[in-house]
Copies of this chain bind each other. A is one copy, B any other.
Amino acid sequence: MAPRIHPFDSVKDYEIKLASKLIKDSYPADANCHFVQIERTDPPKKDMIKYLDAERQGLPLPNIPRVLYAYYWTNTLEFNKALVNVTVGHIITKVQLPKGVCGPLLPEDMEDWEEHCNNHPAVKAEIEKLQLPPGYQVRNDPWIYATDDPNEKRPLVQFFMYVLAGNGHSESNHYSLPLKFSPVFECFTKKFIRIDYLPGGYDEKITPTGPWQEVPAVEYHPDLNGENVMREVKPLLVNQPEGPSYTVQGSKIKWQGWEFRVSSSAREGFAIYDAWFKGRQVFYRVSLSEMTVPYGDPRAPYHRKQAFDLGDCGFGACGNSLSLGCDCLGTITYLDGMGIHANGDPFVVPNTICLHEQDNGLLYKHVNYRNGNAVLARKREFVVQTIATVANYEYIINFKFVTDGSLDIETRATGILSTMPIDENVKVPWGTIVGPNVMAAYHQHILSFRIDPAVDGHKNTVVYDDTLKLPRNKLNPYGIGFVTDRHFVEKAGSIDQSPFTNRTVKILNENVINPVSKGPVGYKVSLPAAQMILADDDSFNVKRAKFATEQMWVTKYRDHELFAAGEFTNQSQTDEGLGVWGSNGDLVRNEDLVVWATLGFTHIPRVEDFPVMPVETHTIHLAPFNFFDKNPALDLPQANNNFNKSVNHPIGSDAEPPCCSSKI
C-alpha cells in the first residue's frame, strides 16, 4: 500500500520509477526510451478546492490520484509526452509530439555531449590548430541552440569552447578564455552538424582558427585567484537556542500565522501552495514560471543566444545541493529535490530547498516623544530558498514570508558572465571588456513569476490605481490635492508599469468588504518598473517570449496554464503561454484569475561582475492592502535584550583610545 501522501507533496522516487517503468513497458525494448523530465502535475483545481476544504474542516478527504508527466525520446528522434496515473498505475495519455518540438535537455546528457564534442575529430582538428602550451586544455559548455530558422526541426546543441588554464585545476575559469569556434551537434544522435566561427572584431567577420594567443585567465577560485592576503572577517553566528519558530510536517509549513505547502519541482524549483495568513486564504499557488535571457550582441551566431532556463533545462533539474553554514545561516531545514537519469531512474537531489528564519531589522517602531516610550517589533522572515546553476549563471530565489502578512519574492543573479572572445584594441557598443581578450555582452534576465491568488477565496479582481493631481478648483484652491484613480482589469491582458503615476496593482476580492476602509479587501503587488525585452517585435527573441514584453499580465485561471512562454521552449518559434492566454478575450473580473509578474533587468556587465558576479537583487513585494482591520503584527512580542541578547561594543574597545572625550 502506498503511504499517505498529500496531492501537493513533491514527486516521490517510487512514483518516478513507476511512471518510467509503465512507459518503457508500453514500447518495444528497441524503442530505447530516453527520458528528459518526469514530474508531478497539479490535480484539477476544482478537485483540490474540495480536498482542501475537507482538510480544513477535518472531514474525510476525497481521493485524488497522483499524476506524473514524462517527456522522453523514442527511437532516438521522436519526442513524446505521457501522463501517468501513479496512484492506480496506468498511463492516461501518450502522445508523440510534432517534429520541431524539443523538450528540455537533461543535465546528464549535456555532460555526456560535452565529452563527445571534445572527442569528435572535427573538433579535435580545430583544437589542434590552437597549439596550446603545456598545461592548457580545452573545455566546452553545451548551450541551448535557440532559433533562427523556422525550417530547422532537428534538436540541436551548440558548444561554446574555452581554454582551461590553471594547469589542470578543475576550477580554473574557462569563461575567461573563450575560443572562436563553436561546434553544433544534433542532440541524442550526437551527429556533427558544423562548426560556427565566432567574430573577434566589431562586425561579424570571422577568421580561421590559428594558434591561441596566450593571455592570463581571470580566476575566481581561491586556489587560483592570486588573492594572497585574505580579508579578516570575524564570525557572525545566528543561534536559535530554542530551535526555530516554524514546524515542517511533510510539505506543510506553519510559521507565525502563515500556513502553506512547499513542493519541489524539476521545472520551477519549487512552488508554494495553499498559503493562508492568520486564518485567511491568500494564495492558491505561487512560483517562478519562466525566465528568458536574451543577449544583445547582434553578430552571428550570438543572435541565437536566448536561454529559457525553466523550459529549456529546468530550474529544479539544475538545482544546487545547499550546504549548512554556506547558503543560509541559523537553524535550517532542507528539502530534497528529485532528478532523473535518462533511463527513467530517479535520484535524490539532496537539500535543494532550504527553509530558515532570519531577522531583517525593524518591522515597526513608534516613540512617544513626550516621554521616550517606544513600541517596536523586529521584522522576522521565513525564507524558502533555492539556487540553480544554469551553466555559467546562478540564480537564487528567495520567497520571504513576513510576520505582517507580506511575501517578498527576491531574485539574486550571480555566477559567471557568459563571455565572448574579443580582439586586442576592439571595443563594441553591446559589451564590456572584462579581462584580456574577453568580452561580456549586454543581456537581459527576464523572469516571470506566476501568482495564483485566492484573496479570501478564488473569485478575485485585479485593479490598478494611479495617483493623480486634483485640478485646481473650489475644493482645491491651493493646488496641492491629489487622489487615486482606479482601473479595473476586465479582460485577460497586460498592465503597464507607471512609476510616475505611482501605479499600484492590487488583487481584490470585490465580494468581501473591509469593515474599516469600507472597500474591498485585497493584496498589493509591487515590482520595480523595468525595461522589458529589447528585440524587435518580429524577431524570434520576442515571438518566443511574448511574456517578456509586459511587466504584468492577468489571465483567467485554467488548469495546466503554468508556464509563461508555453510548455516547450527549447527551439520554440512562438510563445505558447502568455502569448496566447494574454489576449484571448477571457473575462477576468471577479473570476478565478492568475497574475503574472515579470521581473526584468538589463544587465550591462561591469568589470566588477567578473570573474564571479556580486549578486544583483530584485524583488516583488506582495502585501495585504486593506485586507486586515489593522496592522496584523500587533500580536508580536516587543523587542528587548532579555530576548535578543545583543552586546555592547563601546567606543574605546578598539586598540587606540578615542580622543576628545569631554572635559566638562
- Segment at the interface with B among A20-28, A264-272, A358-366: A358-366
Chain B residues with Cβ under 8 A from A298's Cβ? Answer: 470, 475-478, 480-481
Q: How many copies does the complex hold?
A: 2
Is A249 in contact with B658, judged by CB distance below 8 angstroms? yes
Chain B residues with Cβ under 8 A from A9's Cβ? Answer: 660
**Which of B227, B643, B653 meets A635, CB within 8 Å?**
B227
Is B332 in contact with A649, judged by CB distance below 8 angstroms? yes
Is B502 in contact with A649, judged by CB distance below 8 angstroms? no
Known A248-B658, A480-B535; contact A234-B242, beta-carbon cutoff 8 A: yes
A119 close to chain B: CB less than 8 A: no
- Report the bound CA distance from A655 to B371 in whole Å: 45
**Which of B17, B236, B482 meets A238, CB within 8 Å?**
B236
A404 close to chain B: CB less than 8 A: yes
Chain B residues with Cβ under 8 A from A435's Cβ? Answer: 516, 630
Is A320 in contact with B367, judged by CB distance below 8 angstroms? yes
Interface string of A574-614 (1 = CB under 8 A from B): 00000000000000000000000000011010111111111
**Which of B256, B404, B416, B615 meets A362, CB within 8 Å?**
B615
- Report the bound CA distance from A324 to B366 in whole Å: 16
Chain B residues with Cβ under 8 A from A63's Cβ? Answer: none
Is B233 in contact with A366, judged by CB distance below 8 angstroms? no
Q: 9 closest Cβ contacts across the A-B interface?
A: A325-B641, A298-B481, A479-B536, A325-B644, A298-B476, A296-B482, A429-B483, A247-B654, A479-B539
Please report which residues of chain A, range 106-142, place their CB below 8 angstroms from some CB of chain B when the two chains form the complex: 107, 111, 114
Interface SS, A side: loop
Interface string of A231-243 (1 = CB under 8 A from B): 1111111111111
A511 close to chain B: CB less than 8 A: no
A280 close to chain B: CB less than 8 A: no
Which residue of the partner chain B has the closest CB to A391? B369
Which residue of the partner chain B has the closest CB to A628? B608
Chain B residues with Cβ under 8 A from A472's Cβ? Answer: 536
Please report which residues of chain A, range 383-413, place their CB below 8 angstroms from some CB of chain B when the two chains form the complex: 387, 389, 391-392, 394, 396, 398, 403-406, 412
- Report the bound CA distance from A467 to B273 in whole Å: 38
Which residue of the partner chain B has the closest CB to A528? B528
A188 close to chain B: CB less than 8 A: no
- Report the bound CA distance from A330 to B646 in whole Å: 5
Tell me, rounded to whole Å, the shortest Cβ–Cβ distance linking A209 to chain B.
23
Tell me, rounded to whole Å, the shortest Cβ–Cβ distance linking A142 to chain B.
10
Chain B residues with Cβ under 8 A from A432's Cβ? Answer: 517, 626
Is A329 in contact with B640, judged by CB distance below 8 angstroms? no
Tell me, rounded to whole Å, the shortest Cβ–Cβ distance linking A616 to chain B.
9
**Which of B240, B362, B480, B645 meets A294, CB within 8 Å?**
B480
24 contacts between A and B (CB under 8 A): A13-B664, A220-B634, A230-B636, A231-B635, A234-B245, A236-B238, A238-B239, A248-B654, A250-B660, A298-B478, A326-B374, A326-B641, A333-B649, A363-B414, A366-B416, A367-B389, A404-B608, A429-B484, A430-B470, A434-B517, A478-B535, A479-B538, A607-B626, A608-B632
Tell me, rounded to whole Å, the shortest Cβ–Cβ distance linking A606 to chain B.
5
Chain B residues with Cβ under 8 A from A442's Cβ? Answer: 467, 482-484
A89 close to chain B: CB less than 8 A: no
**Which of B326, B538, B612, B646 meets A366, CB within 8 Å?**
B612
- Report the bound CA distance from A297 to B478 in whole Å: 11
Is B534 in contact with A380, judged by CB distance below 8 angstroms? no
A495 close to chain B: CB less than 8 A: no
Please report which residues of chain A, range 201-238, place their CB below 8 angstroms from some CB of chain B when the two chains form the complex: 203-204, 218, 220-222, 225, 227, 229-238
A46 close to chain B: CB less than 8 A: no
Is B499 in contact with A359, judged by CB distance below 8 angstroms? no
- Report the bound CA distance from A244 to B465 in whole Å: 46
- Report the bound CA distance from A284 to B68 in whole Å: 61
Total number of A residues with any Cβ neighbor in B under 8 Å:
208
A501 close to chain B: CB less than 8 A: yes
Chain B residues with Cβ under 8 A from A247's Cβ? Answer: 654-655
A171 close to chain B: CB less than 8 A: yes
Which residue of the partner chain B has the closest CB to A621? B617
Which residue of the partner chain B has the closest CB to A385? B361
- Report the bound CA distance from A416 to B367 in whole Å: 10
Is B236 in contact with A330, judged by CB distance below 8 angstroms? yes
A427 close to chain B: CB less than 8 A: yes
Is A331 in contact with B649, judged by CB distance below 8 angstroms? yes
**Which of B303, B368, B480, B613 meets A364, CB within 8 Å?**
B613
Tell me, rounded to whole Å, the shortest Cβ–Cβ distance linking A426 to chain B.
10
- Report the bound CA distance from A159 to B549 in whole Å: 51
**Which of B364, B392, B524 meets A615, CB within 8 Å?**
B364
- Report the bound CA distance from A339 to B387 in whole Å: 49
- Report the bound CA distance from A606 to B470 in whole Å: 21
Tell me, rounded to whole Å, the shortest Cβ–Cβ distance linking A461 to chain B.
17
Tell me, rounded to whole Å, the shortest Cβ–Cβ distance linking A534 to chain B.
4
Interface string of A334-370 (1 = CB under 8 A from B): 1100000000000000000000011101111111111
Interface string of A171-215 (1 = CB under 8 A from B): 100000000000000000000000000000001100000000000
Which residue of the partner chain B has the closest CB to A639? B326
Chain B residues with Cβ under 8 A from A328's Cβ? Answer: 361, 646
Known A231-B635, A325-B640, A480-B294; contact A529-B500, beta-carbon cutoff 8 A: yes
- Report the bound CA distance from A243 to B654 in whole Å: 10
Which residue of the partner chain B has the closest CB to A655? B247
Which residue of the partner chain B has the closest CB to A363? B614
A151 close to chain B: CB less than 8 A: no
- Report the bound CA distance from A48 to B221 in whole Å: 41
Tell me, rounded to whole Å, the shortest Cβ–Cβ distance linking A496 to chain B.
9
Tell me, rounded to whole Å, the shortest Cβ–Cβ distance linking A80 to chain B.
25
Which of A257, A330, A373 has the most chain B CB atoms closer than 10 A to its own CB? A330
Chain B residues with Cβ under 8 A from A333's Cβ? Answer: 648-651, 653
